Chain A
Amino acid sequence: MDIKKHGNVTIVTIPERFDAHSSRDVENVLQKLIDKGSKAVLCNFKQTEYISSAGLRVLLAAMKTLKKSGGHFYLCSTSSFVQEVLETSGLASILKIFLTEKDALEHIR
């Protein structure tokens, strides 16, 4: 998983498949970042082709935890499939989703 810092924002690139298998790794990565005190985490979905309910759960958990510690959780570059899943489940309305990474970074500043 590609993790990079841009100022005080940590950008995590979500793997191609965000399902029951990979969700544990992503969860661990996000948890570690939050424990280390990250206040702004951006998940980049440019590589992600598939997301399951396991992935959705991880996103929700991360969002809630960050909120509790005063941080913010963002998403960007979702594919049409991923976006549809987020829309159908209604999560699209409670998560902050940006079209591109650039947009997200601009907004965060």
Chain B
Amino acid sequence: MNSMVTVRKKDKKGSLAFKLSCFILAGVVIVFLTAFFYNYHYSRKIVMENVEANARNLAHATVNKIESLLQGVEKIPRYIAFSLERKDYTREDLMEMIKNGVIASTEIFGSTVAFEPYAFDPRLLYFAPYYYKDEDGIEFCSLGRDSYRYFYRDWYLIPRELKRPVWSEPYYDEGGGNIIMATYSVPFSRFLNGESQFMGVVTADISLDWLMNIISGVSVYRSGYAFLISQNGVFVTHPDKELIMHESIFSIAEAAGDAGLRETGRDMIRGGEGFVSLKSALTVRDSWMYYAYLPSVGWSIGIIFPEDELFADVRELNREVLIIGSVGVVFLFFIVILIASSITKPLRILAIETAEIARGNLDIQVPLIKSKDEVGELSRSFGNMRTALKEYIAHLAETTAAKERIESELKIARRIQMSFLPKKFPPFPEKREIDIYAMIEPAKEVGGDLYDFFLLNEDHVFFTIGDVSEKGVPAALFMAVTKTLMKGIAAYGIEPSDLLVKVNQELCKENESMMFVTVFCGILDCRTGNLTFSNAGHNPPLIIHADGKVEWLHVPKGLVLGVMEDAEYKSERTVLHAGDTIFLYTDGVTEAVNSEKHVYSEERLIRSLQESNVTKTELIVKTVMQSLKDFTGDEPQYDDITIVSVQFKGTVEDESVTT
């Protein structure tokens, strides 16, 4: 149980559900982020365009407003100058004109007509009556004293030189109202003695405080503002009063090392108009500025739009979209995991059960997954496979058991068959005239080769060797029948050929399978060495003489037993001398192959017999067997190998003679 749980936990990271979720989410996140950033970028762009348009409108509106106000301011001194050039006037007229001008215009702070030295009154160096507004009302003072020689002032000199009305730079005036002001000066002249003579300057002052109030009325978002700079870039109005008159846009740019700001300033005083991005040199936060030119006064207005306020809405929207998106992604994540889990849960169950089955537990119940999808299919196939596997294993077990039964029966059969064949060597110890040794090596567990020897009477020994066609159980059974028949039919006095005839007739009965057996049999008279023998299709034996010479025994031709009921057989005779050995074998010996597919062959057999220096039968047989084993090596044995060796030692008389 524990191992099962471990499997599940360990595979969490690699689980299908997790992987699927990750991939889907990765895709979704990529798509979402792409859309998001695209949207953000383009909404910024759109906002910027709108902002610029709005800024432009605001700037133009403000410019127009200020221009119209300033033009209003310009009218009064112009009118006065115009009048002064065309009319005669008394001192009182003049004073009244000036005073009325100040009263009439809400914008004008103060006004004067400043005359050239001695131009108004030859006795007077200075004559510049000045009316100005105060908390109480209209105040008067006379400009022009030694500490204030007005004709050296810019507001006098410049229009005098340029011979046209001019707005001054803002300045601090201690002569008049003791405030920061800007002055519009209109020069006037008189036609005297045939030529135009400069008489003086009519001025109208505006206080910058007043101007600042106008400007501060321009509302730009929450913390945006407008400011004015003069023809030289000096701050005329600004929310930060410290800057007014003390700093210029250039000094700020210089202090911050902001070349861009310097450029912008230049463009502004050149009369340019534009929409630029400002970084914290001039403004604390990143901002955008729209600037425009006031042509009448030659100043520029700059309207500051703090960037974060500009894009506040867009940013807010995007933040909300991002939050929605993130929540959506997380939500999606769980949904995907849920779905993937529902798919992989049955798979996980199947995996666990497969593990169980692999362990050998075939009886585990496969829970039927009823869904109609592929997973359900898999589960059903799985169940079928399990059943098939069970049946197969059961069948296999049966077959194996049956096979083992057969094999054990075969082992028993072999033992029984071996027990048929004479195993006791020497078989007839009391018969010192003969020495017999035999060996059999069956190819399968039961063989088709046979051999036998037994005494027919006191002096006659019968021996035989045979080879049933094919191998295995059928051959073994046929072999058993043949051997039994021979033993039964053989008796003293029978010719070997007759034996074969009779055995053949019996074997031919009921022999539908067409099995046959080769047989060589012989009867040796132990007293004389006379050998009578007959052959039914078996390979001829060899005779080994006492001197080591090996020769073939010539056998009569005869058909294998079991084929033709009326087959005929012949007997032949020869004499064995003392020390002669008759060597019988089956073709399993001569047709044994080695790894190079060479056969042992009759030549090698003869050579082996010639080269062995042994005389004892047992050793002769064993030597040949060993030689055969050396030859074949590891090659499997295809046919039964049987060797029978019968040595005639000579008669008892011979023995006594030799000893």
Docked complex Cα distance between A97 and B416 (Å): 41
Contacts A89-B537, A94-B564; A56 near B557 (Cβ below 8 A): no
Docked complex Cα distance between A74 and B609 (Å): 40
Residue numbers in A under 8 Å from B560 (CB-CB): 56, 89-91
Contacting pair A56 B469 (CB below 8 A): yes
Contacting pair A90 B536 (CB below 8 A): yes
Contacts A88-B538, A90-B559; A61 near B564 (Cβ below 8 A): no
Q: Which residue of B lies closest to A50 (CB)?
A: B591
Dominant secondary structure of chain A at its interface with chain B: helix
Tell me which of B470, B515, B518, B639 contacts A89 (CB under 8 A): B518
Interface size class of B (residues with CB under 8 A): 20 to 34
Contacting pair B514 A90 (CB below 8 A): no
Docked complex Cα distance between A20 and B567 (Å): 26
Q: Which residue of A lies closest to B472 (CB)?
A: A20
Docked complex Cα distance between A94 and B564 (Å): 9
Contacting pair A94 B559 (CB below 8 A): yes
Contacts A64-B514, A89-B518, A89-B537; A57 near B558 (Cβ below 8 A): no
Q: Mask for B535-551, Cβ within 8 A of A = 1, else 0?
A: 01111000000000000
Is A93 in the interface zone, CB < 8 Å from B? Answer: yes
Docked complex Cα distance between A60 and B518 (Å): 14
Residue numbers in B under 8 Å from A88 (CB-CB): 518, 537-539
Residue numbers in B under 8 Å from A99 (CB-CB): none
Is B563 in the interface zone, CB < 8 Å from A? Answer: yes
Contacting pair B537 A54 (CB below 8 A): no
Docked complex Cα distance between A8 and B467 (Å): 38
Contacting pair B518 A57 (CB below 8 A): no
Contacting pair B559 A93 (CB below 8 A): yes
Tell me which of A54, A64, A93, A94 contacts B470 (CB under 8 A): A54
Contacting pair A53 B559 (CB below 8 A): no
Q: Which residue of A lies closest to B559 (CB)?
A: A90
Q: Which residue of A lies closest to B557 (CB)?
A: A90
Tell me which of A61, A89, A93, A94 contacts B514 (CB under 8 A): A61
Q: Mask for A54-73, Cβ within 8 A of B = 1, else 0?
A: 10110011001000000000
Docked complex Cα distance between A93 and B558 (Å): 9
Q: Which residue of A lies closest to B560 (CB)?
A: A89
Q: Which residue of A lies closest to B569 (CB)?
A: A90
Q: Which residue of B lies closest to A58 (CB)?
A: B514
The winner among B471, B514, B536, B557 for most chain A CB atoms within 10 A is B514
Residue numbers in A under 8 Å from B516 (CB-CB): 53, 56-57, 60, 89
Contacting pair B467 A94 (CB below 8 A): no
Contacts A56-B516, A64-B514; A91 near B559 (Cβ below 8 A): yes
Docked complex Cα distance between A13 and B468 (Å): 26
The winner among A54, A57, A64, A89 for most chain B CB atoms within 10 A is A89
Tell me which of B515, B539, B563 contacts A94 (CB under 8 A): B563
Residue numbers in B under 8 Å from A89 (CB-CB): 516, 518, 537, 559-560
Tell me which of B468, B514, B539 contacts A60 (CB under 8 A): B514
Docked complex Cα distance between A93 and B564 (Å): 11
Chain A interfacial residues counted at CB < 8 A: 16
Contacting pair B557 A93 (CB below 8 A): yes
Q: How far is the CB of B24 from chain A (nearest CB, A)?
A: 62
Contacting pair B469 A57 (CB below 8 A): yes
Query: For window 471-512 of chain B, which residues contact chain A by CB distance below 8 Å?
Result: 471
Query: For window 151-203 of chain B, which residues contact chain A by CB distance below 8 Å?
Result: none
Docked complex Cα distance between A87 and B518 (Å): 12
Contacting pair A57 B515 (CB below 8 A): yes
Contacting pair A90 B470 (CB below 8 A): no
Residue numbers in B under 8 Å from A91 (CB-CB): 537, 559-560, 563
Q: Which residue of A lies closest to B538 (CB)?
A: A88
Docked complex Cα distance between A38 and B537 (Å): 30
The winner among B467, B468, B518, B560 for most chain A CB atoms within 10 A is B560
Contacting pair A90 B469 (CB below 8 A): no
Residue numbers in B under 8 Å from A90 (CB-CB): 536-537, 557-560, 567
Residue numbers in B under 8 Å from A20 (CB-CB): 470-471
Q: Mask for A91-105, Cβ within 8 A of B = 1, else 0?
A: 101100000000000
Q: How far is the CB of B639 from chain A (nearest CB, A)?
A: 8
Residue numbers in B under 8 Å from A64 (CB-CB): 514
Docked complex Cα distance between A61 and B513 (Å): 8
Residue numbers in A under 8 Å from B558 (CB-CB): 90
Residue numbers in B under 8 Å from A94 (CB-CB): 559, 563-564
Contacting pair A54 B539 (CB below 8 A): no
Docked complex Cα distance between A91 and B514 (Å): 13
Docked complex Cα distance between A53 and B586 (Å): 12
Q: How far is the CB of A68 from chain B (nearest CB, A)?
A: 12
Docked complex Cα distance between A90 and B536 (Å): 7
Contacting pair B469 A53 (CB below 8 A): yes
Q: How far is the CB of A22 from chain B (nearest CB, A)?
A: 13
Residue numbers in A under 8 Å from B538 (CB-CB): 88
Residue numbers in A under 8 Å from B515 (CB-CB): 57
Docked complex Cα distance between A72 and B560 (Å): 21
Q: Which residue of A lies closest to B567 (CB)?
A: A90
Residue numbers in A under 8 Å from B514 (CB-CB): 57, 60-61, 64
Docked complex Cα distance between A90 and B561 (Å): 10
Q: How far is the CB of A87 from chain B (nearest CB, A)?
A: 8
Contacting pair B559 A57 (CB below 8 A): no
Q: Which residue of B lies closest to A23 (CB)?
A: B470
Docked complex Cα distance between A56 and B639 (Å): 15
Residue numbers in A under 8 Å from B564 (CB-CB): 94
Docked complex Cα distance between A93 and B513 (Å): 21
Query: For window 508-539 of chain B, which residues contact chain A by CB distance below 8 Å?
Result: 513-516, 518, 536-539
Contacting pair A53 B557 (CB below 8 A): no
Residue numbers in A under 8 Å from B563 (CB-CB): 60, 91, 94
Q: Which residue of B lies closest to A20 (CB)?
A: B470
Query: For window 269-318 of chain B, which residues contact chain A by CB distance below 8 Å?
Result: none
Q: How far is the CB of A41 from chain B (nearest CB, A)?
A: 16
What are 13 sample pairs from A and B whose C-beta atoms fall under 8 A apart?
A53-B469, A53-B470, A54-B469, A57-B469, A57-B514, A60-B514, A88-B537, A90-B536, A90-B537, A90-B558, A90-B567, A91-B559, A91-B563
B residues with a Cβ closer than 8 A to A are 467-471, 513-516, 518, 536-539, 557-560, 563-564, 567, 639
Q: Contacts A56-B560, A57-B514, A60-B563 given; 18 further ones with Cβ under 8 A? A: A52-B639, A53-B469, A53-B516, A57-B469, A57-B513, A57-B515, A57-B516, A60-B516, A61-B513, A64-B514, A88-B538, A89-B518, A89-B537, A89-B559, A90-B536, A91-B537, A93-B557, A93-B559
Chain A to chain B: the 8 pairs with minimum beta-carbon distance, closest first: A90-B559, A53-B469, A89-B537, A61-B514, A90-B537, A60-B514, A89-B560, A57-B469
